[in-house]
Structure 1
Amino acid sequence: MNAPVVVARGLRKSYGDLTVLDGVDLDVAPGEVLALLGPNGAGKTTTVRILATLLKPDAGTAYVAGKNVVTQAAEVRGAISLTGQFAAVDELLTGVENLRLMARLAHLGKREVRTRSDELLQLFDLTDAGRRVVKTYSGGMRRRLDLAVGLLARPQVVFLDEPTTGLDPRSRNGLWDVIRDVVATGTTVLLTTQYLEEADQLADRITVIDRGAVIANGTAPELKRAVGSAHVSLFLRDGVHERIATDGSVPDVRRILSDVESRGIAVDSWEVRSPTLDDVFLTLTGHPTEELALATQES
């Protein structure tokens, strides 16, 4: 079994009396996508900043690509890419100029600068826009260019800190496809996100952080099963709503309807509902995700 490419043990970080991280442990396998979920202020971004050598922990150890993030920070930086919540590209340059500038800063050879830039423009569906200045790009295009810049030197590990923040659903789906293409090349991804569907779509495993500590870890199906089983909601013709729990397997709706109607109860409609990551988040942290809370307010 391959050794983890990202390892953290007992990470702690405080600012005065405020404890941001309180003993975080993480393992990310090569080629894996690990999603880091948690409420605002839970410690997700602080964890990423420590692993990306932008912050030093107060205690604990962390290794990325086999290098210590504190004592071997330069080597870690050579093995990673960090894409933050906002695109960090030069709006006055074209897409091609952004890529070639950063490729030269990464000390790529002249031939490789051109070849690698062209490859990434094609991968990120930016070839036609490559000669346009970035200030004419949409938000989704800027995010794709930002991610492309981070992949110029073929990093082993990519940190994506809420990469689709502010994007519309179509742009978000497009960026998900790009991330899948990146992962298919064997790149390891550590993703923080407020969008539960994003974690469901992309992550091999999910780690939930709250108040600076890891409170759950597992695949999306494992976490969903841990908070409850599927159930059938029956909406009866007299206006009564009845919920019937199941044993965790896929409900046999026909049998349930037959049993209910055999008792002379008229069913107007029904629906099957299984636990979602929103349910996981609410159960584990005690409050809904930012996305769900916003949707509730707007409705």
Structure 2
Amino acid sequence: MKLISGSAHVAGVIGWPVAHSRSPRIHGTWLERHGVDGAYVPLAIQPQDFIPAVQGLAKAGFRGVNVTIPHKEAAFALCDEVEAFARRVGAVNMLTFENGRIIGRNYDGYGYIANLRAHGVRPGAGAALILGAGGAARAIAAALQDEGAEVTLTNRTRERAEELARLVPGARVLDWEHRAEALGDYALLVNTTALGMTGEGPLEMDLDGAAPGLAVSDIVYAPLETALLADARARGLKPVEGLGMLLHQAVPAFERWFGVRPAVDDELYRIVAA
């Protein structure tokens, strides 16, 4: 059994509900692997209690917390300082408590790009078509632009894609019904919608027109291989699963809280996917 001392570093994840989060398993694996004197705990906090809870955690000596649904907007507003990328994408998913201040960061873009590279995909090698227009789409679009990729957004409701394009200068908008016929123009396809996730409806995406070598990325990780990724694999395209994004975005957070740069490897995949 892993023991901690009275000077242990403590962090966690706040959500409502939070039982579904895989973050405790990720950080717990690294804490044990590196023998860190620390703990990472799930914190089920109702929306009306979020602000006093975070302020209490900071005063109690927590190093910081990850933030998940439904607290991300409240977390952004609570910060004393928001780092540049998080401010650019309008969302924070990590808070650190430093010298009495609450600092907001967003590592979704970092995690997405790191996961692409781990699968042998060069993020700026060609144009990217992003399905969806939510917060994840905004972070991924901005991160891909930083890598030099031209980004096109498409969403079932075009107005939402146009709204997102205004927040991601330089991004183009494509009508949802034209997504399949335009696929040959892209080197990367990204699904940021919930379609294809366990309990959600299917994602209808015809890959017949895909260019050879198209990388097909899905940020859904339940199931680990979605129907979209299975279809890409069957066609000889390059599938990129979504669990890796979750794992890689945890790396800089763990390093900041616990002082060790951890590795994303096959063992971690097996533990978190179980």
TM-score of the pair, normalised by structure 2:
0.28
Q: Which structure has the higher relative contact order (CA within 8 Å, separation 6+)?
A: 1
More strand by share: 1
The higher radius of gyration belongs to: 1
Q: TM-score, normalised by structure 1?
A: 0.27
